[in-house]
C-alpha cells in the first residue's frame, strides 16, 4: 500500500513539474528546474508573496466596489435653465389677520386687564394664538380644534388683492390672482406660485380645505424625468427661458398701515419669502428671507441639479444611497423626497405622542387638529425628534430609526444671492403723477426674482467601478504580480481535464509517457 502511494505521489510530482515547465505564469518554471533546494524555496516564497499581495489588493478593490460603487462628478456639458422649472415662490404676510375683523393686540390687552371678551373674540383669539404663538396661556386650553379653525383662518386672512399691487413675469404684466393660490402652512395662510397642486402632491387619503392649494393646471414635469421633449413653451410648472433681471418675476406689495399687528410676531413687518422646489411642501419658519416694507429686494437664483446615470439605477437604494421619487411609498405624499419624508416622520411622531397633528400638517379625515392646549406637547416632541435624528446621524444611537430619509437620486435645488435697498416709492409715484398712492397709511415693498445665468453645471452619480472596470483592475493586478491571464486559466483547466483524458487514452496512464514516475 505504501509503495503504491509513493508511486502515485511521484506521478503527481512529475505531472506538476511538467505543468511548471509549460505554464505562462511567472516563476513556476524555476520550481520545475533541478536546482538547489534553497533556490526552489526562495522562488516558492516569492510566488507566495506575490499571490498573497495580489489577493489582498483584489479584496480591497472588491470591498470598495461593494461598499461605495457610486461616485459623484460633474456632467460634461452645461444644462440650460429652460429644462428645469422656475422655482416655486411662497409668500407669507407677517400680518395674520385684518384688524377690521379681528384686533389681536386689543384682545390680549383686554385679557391682561381681566376684561371680558365676546364669544367671537374669545374664539378668534384662541385660534390666532396658535398662529401667532403668543398668548396661548391666556386663553382656555383646548387639546384639539375642530375644522372650524380653517374657516376662521380663511375669514381673517389678508386677501391677495390687499397685499399685492402688481405682478410681472418674463416682462408680461399678469394678474396676481392668476399666479398665486392660497395655501395653509406653518405661517398660517400664505400664497404660492408655480407649486404643484394638491392633487399632484398628496395621496387621496389627505384632507383638503376648500380651494386651497388647488390650481387648474396638471403637472407636465416630473423630478426624475423632467419635461417631455414635445411639451412646447406653455408648461406647468412654468419655466424661465432666459436669465437676467429683464426676465424676472417682479412683485410689488402694498398694505395698509392700519392692518399691521406688532404683537402677533416679533419679526420685521413685511413678508416671509421662500424659494423652493415645486414638489416640496415649504416649512417657512425653518427657512425664509424677509421683504420688509419700504425696501426693494433682489433674489438671484443659481440652480443645482443632481442626476443619476442609468448604470447606477440597477443598484439597490442602500448602495447608491438615494431614492427615486416612486421607489419609496409615503403615507401622505404621492412622491418621495427627503423633505416630504422628514415632514411625514414628524407627523407620525407627533400623532403617536400627542394624539393629534398641527394645523398645517397633512392628515387623514379622522385625525384631530392639535389645539392651544397641546402647544407644550408639540414643542417637546419636535425637539425630541431632532435629538433622536441627531443621535442617529452622529452614530451614538445604533437603533434602526424610522425616518431613514435618503436623498433623491434626481435632486433640484435653488441657491440664492440676495440684496436689498431702501425704496423711495412715494417720490417715485409722485414723479409718475400717481397721486392716489401718496398716502401716509399705505406701505409698499418690491421683490424681483430671476436666474443668474442661462445655463448651469449639473452633477451626476456614476459607477465608480462597472463590471468592465472591475475586471480590468482584477486582471491588471493578476498580470502585474504573477503574469496571470485568461490563457493561464485555460492552461490550468487543460492540464486538469483534457490533457489527463488524452494521456490515458493514448498511453493508458494519466501522467503520459514522458513523465518520470520512478
The answer to whether the CB of 157 falls within 8 A of the CB of 131 is no
Residue 358 has a CB neighbour count (10 Å cut-off) of: 18
Q: What is the dihedral of CA 64, 69, 74, 79, to 10 degrees?
A: 180
Q: Residue 282's pLDDT is what?
A: 92
The answer to whether the CB of 44 falls within 8 A of the CB of 33 is no
Q: Residue 516's pLDDT is what?
A: 45
The answer to whether the CB of 243 falls within 8 A of the CB of 453 is yes
At 404 the three-state DSSP class reads: coil
Residue 515 has pLDDT above 50, yes or no: no
Per-residue model confidence as pLDDT tens digits over 184-223:
999 999 999 999 999 999 999 999 999 999 988 888 898 8
Per-residue model confidence as pLDDT tens digits over 384-407:
888 887 777 776 554 445 578 889
Residues of the chain with CATH 2.60.470.10: 73-92+161-337+408-463
- Say how far apart CA 218 and CA 235 lie, in whole Å: 9
Rg (CA), the chain: 36
Q: Residue 256's pLDDT is what?
A: 87
Residue 130 has pLDDT above 60, yes or no: yes
Q: Count of alpha carbons within 13 Å of 344, Cβ hemisphere only?
A: 24
- What's the CA angle centered on 496, arms 488 and 16, to 5 degrees? 80
Superfamily of structural domain 73-92+161-337+408-463:
Acid-sensing ion channels like domains (2.60.470.10)
Residue 182 has pLDDT above 90, yes or no: yes
Structure confidence at residue 466 as a pLDDT band (50, 70, 90):
low
Q: What is the pTM of this model?
A: 0.80
205 vs 34, more confident: 205
Q: Which region among 292-301, 451-460, 464-473 has the lowest average model confidence (pLDDT)?
A: 464-473
User: Could you tell me which residues are beta bridge partners of residue 251?
Assistant: 167, 447
Q: What is the DSSP letter of 293?
A: T
The answer to whether the CB of 297 falls within 8 A of the CB of 291 is yes
Residue 112 has a CB neighbour count (10 Å cut-off) of: 10
- What's the CA angle centered on 145, arms 141 and 148, to 5 degrees? 130
Q: Residue 277's pLDDT is what?
A: 94
Q: Which of 288, 278, 83, 81 lies closest to 181, judged by CA?
A: 278
Amino acid at each position: 500500500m505504501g509503495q503504491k502511494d509513493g508511486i502515485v505521489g511521484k506521478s503527481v510530482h512529475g505531472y506538476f513539474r511538467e505543468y511548471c515547465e509549460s505554464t505562462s505564469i511567472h516563476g513556476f518554471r524555476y520550481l520545475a528546474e533541478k536546482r538547489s533546494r534553497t533556490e526552489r524555496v526562495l522562488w516558492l516564497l516569492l510566488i507566495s508573496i506575490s499571490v498573497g499581495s495580489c489577493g489582498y489588493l483584489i479584496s480591497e478593490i472588491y470591498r470598495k466596489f461593494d461598499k461605495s460603487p457610486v461616485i459623484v462628478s460633474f456632467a460634461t456639458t452645461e444644462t440650460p435653465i429652460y429644462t428645469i422649472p422656475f422655482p416655486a415662490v411662497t409668500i407669507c404676510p407677517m400680518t395674520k389677520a385684518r384688524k377690521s375683523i379681528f384686533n389681536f393686540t386689543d384682545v390680549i390687552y383686554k385679557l391682561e386687564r381681566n376684561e371680558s371678551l365676546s364669544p367671537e373674540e374669545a374664539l378668534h383669539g384662541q385660534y390666532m394664538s396658535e398662529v401667532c404663538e403668543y398668548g396661548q396661556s391666556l386663553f382656555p386650553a383646548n387639546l384639539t380644534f375642530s375644522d372650524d379653525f380653517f374657516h376662521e383662518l380663511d375669514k381673517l386672512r389678508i386677501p391677495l388683492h390687499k397685499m399685492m399691487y402688481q405682478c410681472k413675469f418674463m416682462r408680461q404684466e399678469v394678474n396676481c390672482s392668476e399666479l398665486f393660490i392660497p395655501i395653509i402652512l406653518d405661517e398660517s395662510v400664505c400664497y404660492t406660485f408655480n407649486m404643484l397642486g394638491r392633487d399632484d402632491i398628496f395621496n387621496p387619503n389627505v384632507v383638503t380645505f376648500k380651494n386651497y392649494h388647488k390650481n387648474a393646471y396638471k403637472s407636465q414635469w416630473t423630478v426624475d424625468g423632467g419635461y417631455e421633449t414635445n411639451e412646447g413653451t406653455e408648461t406647468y410648472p412654468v419655466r424661465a427661458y432666459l436669465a437676467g433681471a429683464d426676465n424676472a418675476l417682479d412683485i410689488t406689495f402694498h398694505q395698509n398701515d392700519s392692518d399691521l399687528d406688532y404683537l402677533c410676531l416679533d419679526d420685521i413687518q413685511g413678508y416671509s419669502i421662500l424659494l423652493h422646489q415645486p414638489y416640496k411642501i415649504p416649512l417657512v419658519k425653518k427657512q425664509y428671507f424677509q421683504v420688509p416694507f419700504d425696501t426693494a429686494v433682489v433674489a438671484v437664483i443659481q440652480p443645482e441639479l443632481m442626476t443619476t446615470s442609468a448604470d447606477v439605477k440597477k443598484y439597490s437604494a442602500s448602495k447608491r444611497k438615494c431614492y427615486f421619487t416612486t421607489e419609496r411609498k409615503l403615507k401622505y405624499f404621492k412622491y418621495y423626497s427627503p423633505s416630504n419624508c422628514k415632514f411625514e416622520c414628524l407627523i407620525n411622531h407627533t400623532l403617536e405622542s400627542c394624539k393629534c397633528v398641527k394645523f398645517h400638517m397633512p392628515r387623514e379625515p379622522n385625525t384631530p387638529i392639535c389645539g392651544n392646549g397641546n402647544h407644550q406637547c408639540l414643542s417637546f416632541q419636535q425637539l425630541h425628534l431632532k435629538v433622536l435624528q441627531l443621535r442617529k446621524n452622529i452614530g451614538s444611537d445604533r437603533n434602526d430609526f424610522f425616518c431613514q430619509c435618503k436623498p433623491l437620486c434626481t435632486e433640484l435645488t435653488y441657491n440664492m444671492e440676495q440684496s436689498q435697498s431702501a425704496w423711495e416709492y412715494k417720490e417715485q409715484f409722485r414723479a409718475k403723477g400717481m397721486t392716489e398712492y401718496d398716502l401716509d397709511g399705505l406701505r409698499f415693498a418690491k421683490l424681483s426674482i430671476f436666474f443668474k445665468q442661462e445655463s448651469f453645471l449639473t452633477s451626476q452619480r456614476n459607477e465608480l467601478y462597472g463590471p468592465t472596470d472591475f475586471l480590468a483592475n482584477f486582471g491588471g493586478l493578476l498580470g502585474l504580480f504573477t503574469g496571470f491571464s485568461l490563457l493561464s486559466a485555460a492552461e490550468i483547466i487543460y492540464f486538469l481535464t483534457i490533457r489527463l483524458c488524452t494521456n490515458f487514452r493514448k498511453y493508458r496512464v494519466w501522467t503520459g509517457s514522458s513523465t518520470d514516475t520512478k
